[in-house]
Amino acid sequence: MLKLTSMAFTPRPFRAVALVGNFTDTRVIESMQTLAAHLHGRSRCVIVDAASTVDFGAVPVRRVNEQALGTGVEARTPSDSEVELIVAIGGDGTMLHAARLAAPHGVPVLGVNRGRLGFLADIGPSDMRDRLDEVLQGSYVEDRRTMLQAQLQRGNQPVSQCHALNDVVLQKWQTGRMLDFETWIDDRYVNTHGGDGLVIATATGSTAYALSCGGPIVYPGLDALVLAPICPHTLSDRPIIVPGTARIEVRLVERIDTRAQITCDGVSLGEVLPGDRLLVTPASIGVTLLHPSGHDYFRILRSKLRWGRGDRTHPEPDTE
């Protein structure tokens, strides 16, 4: 059975809630102010990034360093009000950012979108207070998403590493020339690719950059990875789907004008040199997304991909 989500039997109290978002976007600021007041009215402690200049008026908020938003406590400061929920306000990019803050601490993330629904942030601004109330009262579904760990090795020494919820991407950088690189899966040689790079995406990331590269949609309940070549030189160099437990290794081959970078969820991990190895493995951490009850992955998919509109009919009206 497809089982994406399950009801929490022991609802979490969510006593302290961190608000995360791009505080230079006025729509985000307005939602933040509304939600802070609402949470305060529900006797929740509100925590925000100390760097934020958002004016919350009379609403008391606790300001901590951004890196402490996942816990609500600055390093080594004991506290009885640790963050129990992060509300991310913005698009899927904000969700990715919040996931990186939340994942190491096991704090769940709820996404509020500014405009159109996102794949990850599926609460709209119009009914965000009602939806938040439902969640505070324990009516929600939990949606556990796996993450990837990427490590860049040079001369068999780790140079840098990071986590990704969507994807780890090896891509050409500051060059109009293609890359040559080899792929290995669980120590088995797969292919030598020429092209603009390679996307290694989780099921979550399958609807992001990997989709633009010709990859398929992977149902989030399936623990699998997409290896999607970016603009491959060889036309039969097609996306490959492997178990989520696979260990992917990519080696950059020496070539004229090779310049490449690795990014994790769009954030640069650093430059890759010929001979360097990128290792991608399942991360030991993951992130738990919360959705309102009635969450339907396929409804979001239909909305985002503009399926089932126009001259087509289907039994269940899209109310998106």
Which residues carry out catalysis?
Answer: 92
Taking the C-alpha atoms of residue 277 and residue 254, their distance in angstroms, rounded to an integer, is 12
Query: Whose Cβ is closer to a copy of itself: residue 139's or residue 261's?
Result: 261
Return the residue of 217, 273, 279, 285 that touches a copy of itself, per CB under 8 A.
217
In angstroms, give the least distance from the CB of 70 to a copy of itself. Answer: 23
In angstroms, give the least distance from the CB of 43 to a copy of itself. Answer: 36
Closest CA to 104 of 165, 169, 152, 21: 165
Residues 203, 224 contacting (CB under 8 angstroms): yes
Q: Pick out residues in 258-297 that bind a copy of itself (CB under 8 A).
A: 261, 263, 266-268, 296
Query: Whose Cβ is closer to a copy of itself: residue 103's or residue 199's?
Result: 199
In angstroms, give the least distance from the CB of 253 to a copy of itself. Answer: 8
Q: Pick out residues in 231-250 that bind a copy of itself (CB under 8 A).
A: 231-243, 245-247
Taking the C-alpha atoms of residue 302 and residue 299, their distance in angstroms, rounded to an integer, is 5
Taking the C-alpha atoms of residue 288 and residue 262, their distance in angstroms, rounded to an integer, is 25
Query: Whose Cβ is closer to a copy of itself: residue 130's or residue 257's?
Result: 257
Q: Is 254 in the site for a copy of itself (CB under 8 A)?
A: no
For residue 27, the surrounding DSSP H or E stretch is helix 26-41
Q: What is the 3-state secondary structure of 260-317?
A: EEEEECCEEEEEECCCCEEEEEEEEEEEEEEEECCCCHHHHHHHHCCCCCCCCCCCCC
Taking the C-alpha atoms of residue 169 and residue 157, their distance in angstroms, rounded to an integer, is 20
Q: Is 221 in the site for a copy of itself (CB under 8 A)?
A: yes
| Residue 250 CB contacts under 8 Å (≥ 6 apart), including other chains | 170, 181, 182, 183, 184, 198, 200, 277, 278, 280
Q: Is 50 in the site for a copy of itself (CB under 8 A)?
A: no
Q: Is 195 in the site for a copy of itself (CB under 8 A)?
A: yes
Q: Is 308 in the site for a copy of itself (CB under 8 A)?
A: yes
Residue 2 CB-half CA count within 13 A: 6
Stretch that binds a copy of itself, among 42-50, 121-129, 156-164, 178-186 (CB under 8 A): 178-186
In angstroms, give the least distance from the CB of 62 to a copy of itself. Answer: 28
In angstroms, give the least distance from the CB of 176 to a copy of itself. Answer: 4
Return the residue of 116, 137, 275, 293 that touches a copy of itself, per CB under 8 A.
116
| Residue 19 CB contacts under 8 Å (≥ 6 apart), including other chains | 32, 35, 36, 46, 47, 48, 86, 87, 89
Number of residues that bind a copy of itself (CB under 8 A): 75
Q: Is 174 in the site for a copy of itself (CB under 8 A)?
A: yes
Stretch that binds a copy of itself, among 96-104, 121-129, 222-230, 284-292 (CB under 8 A): 222-230
Q: Is 189 in the site for a copy of itself (CB under 8 A)?
A: yes
Query: How long, in residues, is the chain?
Result: 320
Q: Pick out residues in 134-173 that bind a copy of itself (CB under 8 A).
A: 169, 171, 173
- Identify the three-state secondary structure at position 221: coil
Stretch that binds a copy of itself, among 45-53, 64-72, 121-129, 184-192 (CB under 8 A): 184-192
DSSP classification of residue 97: H
